[in-house]
Structure 1
Amino acid sequence: MTPIRPRRSALYMPGSNARAIEKAKTLAADAVIFDLEDAVAPDAKAEAREQVCAAVQAGGYGKRELVIRINALETPWGEADLAAAIAAAPDAILVPKVSSAETLAAVGLRLRKFGAAERTRIWAMIETPLAILRAESIASAAHDVDTRLSCFVMGTNDLAKDTRARLLPGRAAMLPWLMGALAAARAHGIDILDGVYNGLSDRQGFRAECEQGRDCGFDGKTLIHPDQIAAANGIFAPSEGEVENARTIVAAFAQPENAGKGAISLNGRMVERLHAEMARRTLALAEAIGERSA
């Protein structure tokens, strides 16, 4: 099994805010996304780029996954952002407005040209109608070693803007697009993070949307405020009951009498080997979260 890196919570931090960049060192988020795009005014982008890249290079963030969201390549800042991010060598570079696999191929060429560190991966924002229609093609870029694609990030606010769909409780209009992107990600072996929740004071609504994202199969949620971290971390982690059930299933299939069986009866229900695979992943995720917390 490929090693699992918990991505329960991925907090956006404005790249122009030095205090926020420093504060991220103390927060319990699994990933910190230093934002050079939406959160930064045009006249502050160059300074934010320098500040973020210096912070990433200096380190001090422990086991947190560090991600730099650049501006789109076609903007006046995109090329400089990408070159600087490559030099800073974060865990990942988040590319916005990815509407085709060709965008990722162009990023891949620059990764090779500028000698990007092997550890640096590419995350892709899925936030346009074309991205939804081409999600499978975009996800398939993960098989091109140059693109280094490892994660989709849903941009639900931009999707709502471009489609004119309303972001209502339950996200009925958004669910087909969310699940289509998720299916594409899973088909090509990459992670996928749910979009942000805008209601900062609506804790019940936030929890409900996290639970919906977890039940749909997302690996975690992107966040816009530190107060959202604890809930996301708890909801996207296996519960104690799920961990105990996973241990029971793995142990049952490890018994010699079950070695050649494709399915067994366990505590009054039928359990297949696919459930054992799911159980092993649950245990691996719980272990990775434990190591992250330590």
Structure 2
Amino acid sequence: MTDAILRPRRSVLYMPGANERALEKAKTLPTDALILDLEDSVAPDAKPEARKRVAAAAASGEYGYREVAIRVNSPGTPWHEDDLRAAAEAGPDAVVVPKVDSAATVHAVERALEAAGAPDRTAIWAMVETPRAMLDARAVAAASERLRVLVMGTNDLAKELHAEHVPGRAPLLTGLSLALLGAREAGKVILDGVYNDVTDESGFEAECVQGRRFGFDGKTLIHPRQVEVCNRVFAPSPEEADKARRIIEAFEEAVAEGRGVVTVDGRMIENLHVDDARRVLALAEAVSGR
């Protein structure tokens, strides 16, 4: 396990970069991470001013434990290069890059950030949101040590596939699985995409549960009202944490006694179960003070 995986990213909230009140409100929200957005939420004529505001916010150090990322405009747009330079100078925790569908794109972003003086701690979070990105997810995820997180762009993926948004997300499951396989094979974090209907609380919770069961580390969000449910679903429950402790204790006791087999709640425990229990317990401890 790495620090990148253990750092809680249950809830990752997009905040519009052109909205000063939203950037201020974000300092009080119980989200694990923030994405200060320069892309979809900002009109073209407002982008230069939003860039200055977001860079200042990211550099302020006023967001406490929250991980702060800047989403730049996608490669090939008129704003991309200026966004990368401003982000590099601000030195956020991460730069979120839309429309990443190849290792070459990752390398280009990495070179631009380094040329602009980005600190080593500033990671790349790659948004994967096209059929090509799904098919090449492993190459994207493995392209750079600076790339630490994949972010699902499910709205764009559905658009590219001509698919409908339906409960259970059947049209997207192949893409979600491919991206997860690529991320895990490369040892990277992966975040689920957004849920568009902020009034549908039961549908949102169901999708959070689905995402956690799939193996996502957390979910990107479009509204503060989604944070509480997301944090709860993607955190180990007290019962899960207690079981993880019992698995670790039983296994360590068996090893000390020279026994090769141990059971907990009637189930045989192996090394892989202990590793998972340690991950669960580490995450529970990491989120307990938030």
TM-score by length of 1: 0.95
Candidates 173, 187, 206, aligned match of 1:189: 187
Aligned to 1:93: 95
Aligned equivalents of 2:112, 2:262: Cα separation in 1: 51
Amino acid in the other structure paired with 1:271: I
Amino acid in the other structure paired with 2:67: E
Aligned equivalents of 1:206, 1:177: Cα separation in 2: 20
CA contact 1:263–1:273 (8 Å) conserved in 2: no
Runs of 4+ in 1 over 3 A off after TM superposition: 256-263
CA contact 1:72–1:95 (8 Å) conserved in 2: yes
Aligned to 1:78: 80
| Change in CA separation of 1:78 and 1:194 when aligned onto 2, cut-off 3 Å | same
Amino acid in the other structure paired with 1:130: R
Aligned equivalents of 2:191, 2:36: Cα separation in 1: 16
1:180-205 Cα deviation digits (max 9, x unpaired): 10111000011000000011110000
Identity %: 57
Amino acid in the other structure paired with 1:132: M
Task: Give 3-state SS (helix, strand or coil) of 1:13's partner.
Answer: strand
Task: Give 3-state SS (helix, strand or coil) of 2:227's partner.
Answer: helix
Aligned to 2:22: 20
Task: Give 3-state SS (helix, strand or coil) of 1:185's partner.
Answer: helix
Candidates 245, 249, 252, aligned match of 1:247: 245
Candidates 183, 208, 211, aligned match of 1:210: 208
| Post-superposition offset of 1:108 | 1.1
Gaps of at least 5 residues in structure 2 are: none
Task: Give 3-state SS (helix, strand or coil) of 1:32's partner.
Answer: strand
CA contact 1:91–1:121 (8 Å) conserved in 2: yes
Aligned equivalents of 2:248, 2:19: Cα separation in 1: 47
Aligned to 1:31: 33
Aligned equivalents of 1:48, 1:208: Cα separation in 2: 34
CA contact 1:182–1:218 (8 Å) conserved in 2: yes
Aligned to 1:2: 2
Aligned equivalents of 1:275, 1:261: Cα separation in 2: 16
Aligned to 1:51: 53
Amino acid in the other structure paired with 1:2: T
1:64-119 Cα deviation digits (max 9, x unpaired): 00000000121000000000001000000000000111000001111221221111
CA contact 1:252–1:258 (8 Å) conserved in 2: no
| Post-superposition offset of 1:136 | 1.3
| Post-superposition offset of 1:215 | 0.5
| Change in CA separation of 1:260 and 1:125 when aligned onto 2, cut-off 3 Å | farther
Aligned to 1:173: 171
| Change in CA separation of 1:247 and 1:75 when aligned onto 2, cut-off 3 Å | same
CA contact 1:11–1:222 (8 Å) conserved in 2: yes
Task: Give 3-state SS (helix, strand or coil) of 2:268's partner.
Answer: strand
Q: Does 1:268 align with 2:266?
A: yes
Aligned equivalents of 1:163, 1:261: Cα separation in 2: 53
CA contact 1:262–1:272 (8 Å) conserved in 2: no
CA contact 2:131–2:160 (8 Å) conserved in 1: yes
Amino acid in the other structure paired with 1:234: R
Output the aligned Cα RMSD: 1.2
Count of equivalent residues: 288
